[in-house]
Amino acid sequence: MKAEIIAVGTELLLGQIANTNAQFLSQKLAEIGVGVYFHTVVGDNTERLMQVIKQASVRSDLIIFTGGLGPTQDDLTKETVAAHIDAGLVTDPVAMERIESFFHQRGIVMTENNRKQALVFDRGQVFPNDTGMAPGMAAEHNGRTFVLLPGPPSELYPMADRYVMPYLIGLLPEQQVFHSHVLRFYGIGESALEEQLLDLIESQENPTIAPYAKEFEVTLRITARAKTVAEAEKLIEPVEREIYRRLGEFIYAKGETSLHEVLVEELKQNGKTIACAESCTGGKVASLVTSVPGSSTVMRGGIVCYTNDAKRELVDVPQAVLDTDGAVSEQTARLLAENVRQKLRATCGISVTGVAGPDPSEGKPVGLVYIGVAIDGLPTVVKELRLAGRRHAIVGRAAKFALFYALQRLKKGERI
């Protein structure tokens, strides 16, 4: 089955919002074994949308539309698709009741154009909108399947998970389970990871291996198709074991999670706490940790010691060290980590000091970063990094490296 995703909305063409829906749907379709061959974006124009629909109907078996199901005049997706597939539009009573209830509960007068959102094809499938008003819908025409989904991700994502994916699985010629394991990596780039696994990737058939970069890290999805989840697990297990053998030092978690979530959970499980002293990252490490619900049980606090005065006065780095070694140095990173741990009475202290750019500092190059990890009962470790990229990328990578090294130290003790 060849799939195509058509995003409708002039705001996408103007760059006012990003087309994250296509990314999400492509990933979901890949999980059930449906290949996406084309992504198209078209503005709110009936003639141009009709041209795109006709072209998609020639080359694709499954055509998924996002956006253009709202109440305004420029929301024209369902009307244009209905004209192409020769379908009528009727009011869905469940959707209409939900829309009326929404306005009634908020004490707002509902304008007549909102009734448009309850219109669906007079044949085919309706997908409830559990988080919004406009329902999704699907219909078949001349051997093609047309699926229409709302534009807001908060509405599209749950609709796709709960209703659309099960519907599409039912259209596949053979009932199969598509089951995935997700491995999350840090400290290795996408190209380096792919090189280490190239033989597995090139010979893949079932399961498949798909690496992709995401927020300064790399995610690897292993997907197997089988009749049952148990059979899929058996296919995935040897491949996953081999990946761990080759690259286990860079794997920080399995599943849909994040580095800071994993670190907070590790601290919780072991009854440990953390404190941060940050220079070039400006509080980014502490911000990531405290973004996790329940982090107050492990986060003692953080100090943004951006200047030399702050390093000396707030975290007790001696002036002699700053004069001799510099603010960006192994010794300063070591003292920052050890002193912030003691000052805030934490079991783990993290420090970051470096040159984020755009200009060198202390005669040291942009991208030079030192990260210190001080854990009660263990020798302090300092890691030197040479990071590339612009300022925001160096800050983002440095913050995540700090979390990664702290997690490694907590898990492995001396063996970091």
| Residue range(s) in the chain whose domain bears CATH number 3.90.950.20 | 259-412
Closest CA to 65 of 11, 116, 5: 5
| Residue range(s) in the chain whose domain bears CATH number 3.30.70.2860 | 177-254
Prediction pTM value: 0.72
Do residues 294 and 412 make contact, with C-beta atoms less than 8 angstroms apart? no
pLDDT at 375: 96
Instruction: Reply yes or no on domain 177-254 having CATH 3.30.70.2860.
Output: yes
The domain at 259-412 falls in which architecture?
Alpha-Beta Complex (3.90)
Closest CA to 70 of 99, 106, 39: 99
Q: Which two tokens stand for residue 235?
A: 């296919």
Spans in the chain with pLDDT lower than 50: none
pLDDT at 175: 66
pLDDT at 374: 97
Closest CA to 410 of 290, 299, 263: 263
The b/e string for 5-29 (b: 16+ C-beta within 10 A; e otherwise) is: bbbbbeebeeeeeebebbebbbebb
pLDDT at 177: 76
Do residues 311 and 279 make contact, with C-beta atoms less than 8 angstroms apart? yes
**Which 3 state secondary structure label does DSSP give 155?**
helix
CATH code that applies to domain 2-171 = 3.40.980.10
| Residue range(s) in the chain whose domain bears CATH number 3.40.980.10 | 2-171
Q: Where on the phi/psi map is residue 94: left (φ > 0), alpha (ψ -120 to 50), or beta? A: alpha
Cα 279 to chain centroid distance, Å, stands at: 27
Separation between Cα atoms, residue 321 and residue 132, nearest integer Å:
59
